[in-house]
Each structure stands twice: as structure tokens, then as C-alpha cells.
Chain A
Amino acid sequence: MSDRVSVAKTYKLYIDGKFPRSESGRTYPVTDSVGGFLANASHASRKDVRDAVSAARKAFGGWSGATAYNRGQVLYRVAEMLEGRREQFAAEVSACEGVPTAEAMSTVDTAVDRWVWYAGWTDKIASVLGAANPVAGPYFSFTVPEPTGIAAVLAPQSSSLLGLVSVLAPVVATGCTAVVVSSADRPLPAITLSEVLATSDVPGGVVNVLTGRADELGPWLASHADVNAVDPTGASPGARVDVAQQASGTVKRVLTVPGDEPDWTRRPDISRLRHYLEAKTVWHPKGT
């Protein structure tokens, strides 16, 4: 039996449901934890940021306007696809993060379960955060949460899959659309996740994934007038200040995140969902 030469994958960006290279033509080598070559990843540029934001804006109306039940089903479908690729994700997590395969597999399982957890929130969060307001007058007043718009997510640098899922799933569960900057040195699981999204009925543009440097792309995303919310998790401490300052230009919602990357295996709460939701209060008179 002859040794078969494997078919190597070209890792590209994920924008508007397609897999383009960076328009800049830039790439950077990705290595495993001991320096072995894994791939040449696309090094996203400012133009890629703009393309991704405009794709996210285009997708926002449809995704936010879909029923919560429908979004839940689509996101659950993503979990099904993730489950089917457990081995591939485990191999990439293991290579990127330098952890043994068994530990990587456990991380992947947690990530899949995390995605399922958020998928189930789509049609429940409104009843938890919404209210019928007991106002002092003949009015029906109610408050409902609505997606804030486009989220720029600087994904964690260390946890290449579980961290990514933990910051991305709450964005799309609320009905927001996302532009994600993956971990710079560990981008492979993010691109493979894009392939999962592309085959899971998630409309193109709902999630856009850029590989590159969060510190470089983050301030551009934060200054883009069509972005509504920012998660600075993956930026360095200095860049986080820059991102937050840029975000003030159009009053973006900037998530408060801990200084160091948290333990992503801990059970999440709904604070990330809340960050991407606006409360809308509607009034109507009562009368005959």
C-alpha cells in the first residue's frame, strides 16, 4: 500500500456566505504549538473589515426579522453539524492549543453543548427580559428585547473554539449579526466553524469571520459607523482602550470584559445575551 499524500486545505476568510481570500493578498503562517507549519491563513485588511460589515448589515434585516423559533432551529442545526465534525475540531484544537487529543475532544464537546445552550435561548430570552409594565394610566405598555444590530467580536486569543463559540453564539442567538476576528495564532477552528455555518442554513452574512490581528482590525471595526456593539475580548489591554475610544464615535455598546481570558468551561449566564439586546417599550391607550 502506497502512502497517500493528503489533500491540504487552504484556509480563507468567511464573508457574506463565501470564502474569499483577503483582498489585500496578505497571508501569515499558522503553526502548531511546537512551531510546525499548519497553514497560511488570510491576513484580513481594513477593506475586508468593510466588506464583512456591509455583509452583516445586509443580513441583519432577515436574521433579526426571522422568528425566534426559526433562529433556534437554525442554531440547533449548527450544533448538529458541529457534532458531526468533532474529530476534525479536536484535531485542530489539539494542534493549535497544544493540548492532548482527549482534552481537545472534551473542549469540543463543551463547545457543542454551549452552542446548544444558546440555541435554546432564542425563543425564551424575550420572556425573561421583557415585561408588561404596570403604568399609572389607561395604557398598555410593554417592553421587549430587540437585537442591537451588528456586533464586532474580537474572539479570545487562547481558546480557539470554546472561547469563540462562547462569544459568538450569544450574538447570533439574539438576532444580531456578527463580524468576528478569530484568534490570530490559532485561527483554524474558526475557519472550520465557518464551514459548519455555511452548511447549516445560517444565511450568508449573519456571521463573518476574519483571520488576522485583533489589535489591528479591532479599532477599524470600532470606528465603523455601521457597527453597533463591540466585544473587545481578543484585543490586548492597550488595544482595548483604543477600541473603546473609537467606539465612542457612534456610541457603540462596548462589552465589559475581564482583564485576562476567563475560564470558558464555566457555565455561562445571560449577560452576553443582554449586552446585544435593546429594550423597546411600546405604549398604546386603552379605551372603548
Chain B
Amino acid sequence: MSVWEYAPAPESRDLANLQPNYRPFIDGEFVDGGGDPLKSVNPATEEILAEVGTAAEPDVDTAVRAARRAFEQVWGPMPGAERAKYLFRIARLLQERARELAVLETLDNGKPIKESRDSDVPTAAAHFFYHAGWADKLDYAGYGPDPQPLGVAGQIIPWNFPLLMLAWKIAPALATGNTVVLKPAETTPLSALVFAEICQQAGLPAGVVNIVPGAGDVGSLLVRHPGIDKIAFTGSTAVGKEIQHAVAGTPKRLTLELGGKAANVVFDDAPLDQAVEGIVNGIFFNQGHVCCAGSRLLVQESVAEELLGKLRARVSTLRLGDPLDKNTDIGAINSAEQLARIRELTASGEDEGAQRWTSPCELPERGFFFAPTVLSGVEQSMRVAREEIFGPVLSVLTFRTPDEAVAKANNTPYGLSAGLWTEKGSRILWLADRMRAGVVWANTFNRFDPAAPFGGYQESGFGREGGRTGLEAYLHV
């Protein structure tokens, strides 16, 4: 059988309209930040994309004051119906500039263009569209008549879905009448600063949205700033705990969306080919840089060998390489640090006795890449079964009975998501009840929608994003 190779189909990087310099966005203007500028790197090539000004303490202070002023004088008093129209405008502007944003996101993050184009950017726009409609309907949200906003929200987001996480944070905050100071991740600040330009184009009043790039120290300034009423954080469980500790005893409200170690449970009656697609999506989507990734495959013993064979065959077909190529399935790991962590944890799995299988795909000479890897024979005690790898590495465990599957799936301090694969409806509902996780995907995986609440149990955090439930995070209730 002849094999038809894919011809390269790269998206043009010119579409990103890259600027040599990006600056913090405070009180409606781009300003010079007092912090040391950072250089944002394309993880697929290791080239420097742009220099980005960062915020120092006075800049954070100015941003918080601007947000306070905007909250008290403009955004807070504004009727919900008027706030809504700004959010609708932002949604439309995101759609209009979708191609530019998708290319920029792929350059800065390393994710495949087909994911930034088909998932990150459209879902970000959808979040603004959805929440725009809530702005004048909050009386009906179930939090009593005329629920009030909290004030100024400090928001800290990760590098895995830079624009989408921004949308998850800013859209509900603005819809409920809060103003925000947002810190994008150190390695992926660019799309947030283009979003700032979109706020200008939308005519959003100055100070309603402020973007303060920087590293963890800027996040820490936000968390500790007395002028902030609410902190919303998405990121690692370790940092989440530090933040919870820091705000303890203050009047600040807090929501956390942290790590995960999701079980993806496959029963012997599952349609295996369909399950394989779900497993691949669950762990290799976005290079596995997903807090809800299905990183622990629990497969019923009787079908384990068959499933592993099918899985390896399918993973072998995944195309790893230039994230800008529309055929690419697996892009670049976001940073050298993250790549080192993935390598270290994967090696620990081998050291502890797991069998490693890695896709025979070629790795580009430059850039941060890690070939899709499946570790089988994993035991619950191994680090690769307990710790979040946040990379394209799947740990495979087996089970015999439904009760054992439940016990193993829940044997984690996390509790963000779970996957279930079985044709038996009653078993799905039985399992869904027993999964200690905030999101359960049955015969599917990684589905996200602004209308569907998302968030974790236990050490995966608290609070929800999306749906009516998600509004609670930004209201006095």
C-alpha cells in the first residue's frame, strides 16, 4: 500500500502581525512598565518573538487604582444592558481578528494551529458572547434580586490556553459588573496584550480591563494588594495553595482552578476504536498541557492488550512538528523548563518499573518537543500515577471490576475531571455518580462550553467557571 505523505501546509506567521515590543495595558493605555522586560520565545523554534514590558509594584498599584476608579465611577453604575453591549462587541472583535489571534497564539505557545484556530479562539469568543447575555439578567441567576459585584478582581492565568483562560476569567467578571487586573503567564503574554487592543477598539471604558505582564512576583503583588476584592487563579496546585495561604484571614474572595490527574476509564464493552480517539484527545490535545487531561488510563484487564495495541498504532500516526502547519497534531512543549519536568517525570516512571513506549516520530532539530509516550504497567504508587506531568505522557493502569475502577480513579488528591467509556447507560450513570471530579465525560473527552460549569473537587480547586454556577465567583452571595 502506498503512503501519501502530507505536504507542508503552514499558516503564514505574518498574519500574527507581531510587534517588536509589547507593553502593559493600564487605565486604557499601553504604558512602559517598571519591571525588567521579558522576552517571549517561540517554543517551536526558540527564536525571540518580542520584548514585553512587565509591571513593577507601582504599575500594579496604578492598575488596581484604575480598576477601582472604573468600578466605582463607570462600570459598576452602568446598567447591565449597556455592559452587555461592550461584551458583545469584544466577542465580535475576537471573531473578526480570529485568524491573527490563532497564529499569534500558536507562535507564542507552541500549540498546533488547528487547535488555536478551531478551539482556543472560537471558544474565547463564545465565552464573551455567552456572558454578555448574563449582564442584564443577573436577577434571574438564582442569587437573589439585584446581586452585587465584588469590585476589583485580580486574575492570574496559565500559559496552556492563554487567550481562552483570559476569556474564562474576564468575561464573567465584567458581565457581573467587576473590573479586572489580569496577569498573563510569563511565557505567553502576547495574546492578552492584543486583547487589550481589542478592548480599546471596543471602546471599553479605561480601567475596566488592565493587563500586567510579568512573572510570579507580579502575581504575588496582585494577590497581596489590599485594593483587590477577589483573586481568581488558574495554575498549579502548589501555587494555588500558596495563594490560598496568602489570602487567608483577609476579606478577599478566592476561586482556584488547579491541577488534575484525571482517570480515563475504559470498560470491556466500550467501542475500542472510539475510545482510542477519546484517549488520544484526552492526553495529547495541546501536548497534554491541560489540567483536565486524561493522564491516567484505567483499562479493564480483559481488553488491555487489545486496546494498547490499537492505541500505539493510532498514536504512531500523530504528526509532531511545526505548530503553524495545519496538519500538525502535536506542537511544541511550551518552555524548556516544562520539557525538563516532563523528561524527569517520565524517566521516574521507567525507573519505578513502568514500560515505556514512545511514538517513533521524528523530532525537529530546534525547539522544545517531546514525542507522545505511553507508559504501561503503571502502579498507583508510582509518581507518574500520582503527579501531574502536564505533557504528552499517558500512564496506563488496569482494573477488573467496576468497584476497583472507582477506587483507583478516585485515589488521588485531585478531582478535576474523569472519562468513562462503556456502552452501558446504567453503568455510565452509576460511575458518573461515583467519580469525585467536577467534570465527567462519558464516551467523549475534553468538551468545553461557556454554558457548562467547569472546575474541580478537592485539591483541583474550588469555584466553577461557566454556566449560571460560574457567576457566583464574582457576586456577593
Contact = CB atoms under 8 A, between A and B. Distances in A.
B226 interface: no
A254 B252 CA distance: 12
B30 interface: no
Contacts of A228: 458
Contacts of A73: none
B457 A278 contact: yes
Given A245-B245, A248-B241, A283 B253 contact: no
Interface stretch (B49-57, B173-181, B357-365, B433-441): B433-441
B242 to A, nearest CB: 8
Identify which of B432, B438, B457, B477 gathers the most chain A CB atoms within 10 Å of its CB: B457
Interface in A124-149: 128-129, 131, 133-137, 139, 141, 143, 148-149
Interface majority SS on A: helix, strand, loop or mixed? mixed
B451 A251 contact: no
Identify which of B248, B438, B453, B454 gathers the most chain A CB atoms within 10 Å of its CB: B248
Given A245-B249, A247-B248, A248-B245, A141 B461 contact: no
A136 B467 CA distance: 13
Nearest to A287: B443
Interface residues on A, range: 35 or more
Interface in A171-199: none
Contacts of A241: 248-249
Contact of B469 (A244, A279, A282, A285): A279
A21 interface: no
A281 B438 contact: yes
A131 B467 contact: yes
A136 B248 contact: no
Given A279-B438, A281-B439, A283-B442, A244 B249 contact: yes
Contacts of A149: 458
Contacts of B449: 133, 135-137, 141
A253 to B, nearest CB: 5
A250 B268 CA distance: 35
Interface in A104-130: 128-129
Given A247-B244, A283-B441, A283-B442, A133 B467 contact: yes
Contacts of A282: 432, 439-442
Contacts of B459: 250-251
A248 B244 contact: yes
Interface majority SS on B: helix, strand, loop or mixed? mixed
A214 to B, nearest CB: 16
A135 B245 contact: no
Contacts of B457: 148, 278
Nearest to A251: B459
B248 A245 contact: yes
Identify which of A133, A137, A247, A256 gathers the most chain B CB atoms within 10 Å of its CB: A133
B439 A280 contact: yes
A267 interface: no
Nearest to B258: A251
Contacts of A254: 248
Contacts of B63: none
Contacts of A225: 413
Nearest to A136: B449
Given A131-B467, A228-B458, A278 B444 contact: no
Contacts of B256: 251
A4 interface: no
A36 B396 CA distance: 66
Given A136-B449, A279-B464, A285-B444, A269 B244 contact: no
A230 B336 CA distance: 39
Contact of B244 (A131, A133, A137, A251): A251
Contacts of A285: 443-444
Given A136-B126, A256-B253, A278-B457, A283 B440 contact: yes
Given A131-B469, A279-B438, 11 more contacts: A129-B142, A136-B449, A247-B244, A279-B467, A280-B432, A280-B438, A281-B438, A281-B440, A281-B454, A283-B440, A285-B444
The 8 closest A-B CB pairs, nearest first, are: A241-B249, A244-B248, A248-B244, A135-B449, A248-B245, A133-B452, A245-B248, A284-B442
Interface of A: 128-129, 131, 133-137, 139, 141, 143, 148-149, 225, 228, 240-241, 244-245, 247-251, 253-254, 256, 269, 271, 274, 278-285
Interface of B: 126, 142, 144, 237, 240-242, 244-245, 248-249, 253, 256, 258, 413, 428, 432, 435, 437-444, 447, 449, 451-455, 457-462, 464, 467-469, 472, 477
13 contacts: A134-B451, A136-B449, A241-B248, A244-B249, A247-B248, A251-B460, A253-B462, A279-B464, A280-B432, A281-B467, A282-B442, A283-B442, A284-B444
